[in-house]
């Protein structure tokens, strides 16, 4: 078991290298750069004998100052060197601030992003597992039909539509506590700068409940439907008949023998769920005015702020890599067949 864990943890090293390369390459392949607009502005305002050449000369001088005149692989080498030796992700072209501080600093929206993603996944599993078990226990009965139909309808609703609907309903039901951009959608506006108290914590949970409805709803649908199908398959296995023959009740069979085996496919899908949750959290944050690192990558990409956009992509890539690693290690802990093989 220890050998399996060590090998699996070491295998993430080439994955992280590939994530780093892809994060840099995706942004580097965009046409132009942050200073392209500078070239256009200089060309339009130049008054010399050859304004076009004057604009290009100033543009190339700026690129040389920022190191963008070198080949992409040279820029990539210096970027990786800065990460490994100095823990630096570069400097934002737009703000001039260190990208490491902007993405990983105390004021970064990354931490609220992780809270939103983590709590939404947790709520999705807590709600989805009982629904899946009920569907399998009462197969083709009214409870199962209602749950199956409800999850089928919910799976067809795009998160953006659900977010707008919940946003409008919330503001109609709370005319004196609207979701405002100044309050960031995570706390009531009158408690934004107040110290953390029970009142502020309840306000946070109140606002995050909308996020759980948008981001956690696809997780609930995925977990409940796949768990129901997995349990129905497991309950037809011979060892289940043996457990029933020993006098175990239906619920003992479900939770002690069926649920443990039916959870394996879901745990292996956790990486996919994490990817979906990150995308939906960006949508929820945009609709509900919540801090989210995904919104920054849109702004950085539009302005072609290469260091900031690359740093955010790298953070999300590393998050997905470690999320997949955690799901594999958890699956090996639950299913002994994996670590024995």
Q: Please report the pLDDT score of residue 285 as a whole number.
A: 80
Domain boundaries, the chain: 110-291
Structure tokens at 222: 């995925």
CA dist 33 and 26 (Å) reads 13
Range with the lowest mean pLDDT among 51-55, 212-216, 288-292, 326-330? 51-55
CA dist 138 and 279 (Å) reads 34
CATH 3.30.70.20 fits 110-291, yes or no: no
Average pLDDT over residues 218-242: 85
Q: Please report the pLDDT score of residue 261 as a whole number.
A: 78
Residue 38 confidence class, pLDDT cut points 50, 70, 90? low
Residue 18 confidence class, pLDDT cut points 50, 70, 90? very high
Residue 314 confidence class, pLDDT cut points 50, 70, 90? very high
Residue 53 confidence class, pLDDT cut points 50, 70, 90? low
Q: Please report the pLDDT score of residue 286 as a whole number.
A: 79
Q: Please report the pLDDT score of residue 177 as a whole number.
A: 72
- The answer to whether residue 97 scores a pLDDT higher than 70 is yes
- The answer to whether residue 52 scores a pLDDT higher than 70 is no
CA dist 279 and 290 (Å) reads 14
C-alpha gyration radius of the chain: 25
Buried b (16+ CB within 10 A) or exposed e, 250-287: eeebbeebbbebbbbebbbebbebbebbbebbbbbbbb
Q: Please report the pLDDT score of residue 165 as a whole number.
A: 82
Q: What is the pLDDT of residues 263-278, one digit of tens each?
A: 887 887 787 788 888 8
- Scanning the structure block, which residue is given the tokens 């750069």? 33
């Amino acid at each position: 078991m220890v050998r399996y864990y060590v090998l699996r943890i070491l295998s993430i090293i080439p994955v992280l290298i590939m994530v780093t390369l892809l994060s840099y390459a995706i942004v580097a392949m965009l046409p132009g750069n942050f200073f392209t607009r500078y070239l256009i502005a200089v060309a339009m305002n130049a008054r010399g004998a050859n304004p076009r050449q004057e604009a290009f000369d100033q543009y190339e001088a700026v690129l040389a100052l920022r190191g963008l005149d070198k080949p992409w692989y040279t820029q990539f080498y210096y970027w990786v060197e800065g990460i490994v030796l100095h823990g630096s992700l570069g400097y934002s072209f737009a703000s001039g601030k260190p990208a490491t501080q902007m993405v990983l600093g105390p004021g970064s929206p990354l931490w609220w992003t992780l809270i939103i993603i983590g709590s939404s996944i947790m709520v999705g599993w807590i709600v989805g597992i009982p629904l899946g078990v009920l569907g399998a226990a009462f197969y083709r009965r009214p409870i199962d039909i209602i749950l199956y139909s409800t999850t089928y309808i919910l799976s067809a609703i795009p998160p953006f539509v659900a977010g707008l609907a919940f946003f409008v309903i919330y503001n109609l039901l709370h005319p004196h506590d609207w979701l405002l951009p100044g309050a960031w959608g995570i706390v009531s506006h009158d408690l934004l700068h107040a110290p953390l108290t029970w009142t502020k914590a309840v306000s946070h949970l109140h606002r995050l409940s909308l996020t759980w409805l948008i981001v956690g709803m696809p997780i609930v649908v995925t977990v409940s439907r796949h768990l129901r199908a997995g349990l129905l398959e497991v309950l037809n296995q011979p060892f289940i008949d043996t457990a029933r023959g020993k006098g175990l009740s239906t619920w003992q069979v479900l939770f002690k023998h069926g649920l443990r085996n039916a959870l394996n496919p879901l745990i292996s899908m956790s990486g996919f769920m994490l990817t979906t949750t990150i995308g939906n959290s960006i949508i929820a944050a945009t609709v509900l005015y919540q801090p989210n690192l995904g919104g920054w990558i849109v702004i950085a990409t539009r302005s072609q702020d290469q260091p900031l956009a690359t740093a955010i992509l790298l953070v999300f890539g590393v998050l997905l890599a470690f999320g997949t690693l955690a799901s594999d290690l958890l699956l090996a802990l639950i299913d002994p067949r994996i670590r024995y093989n």
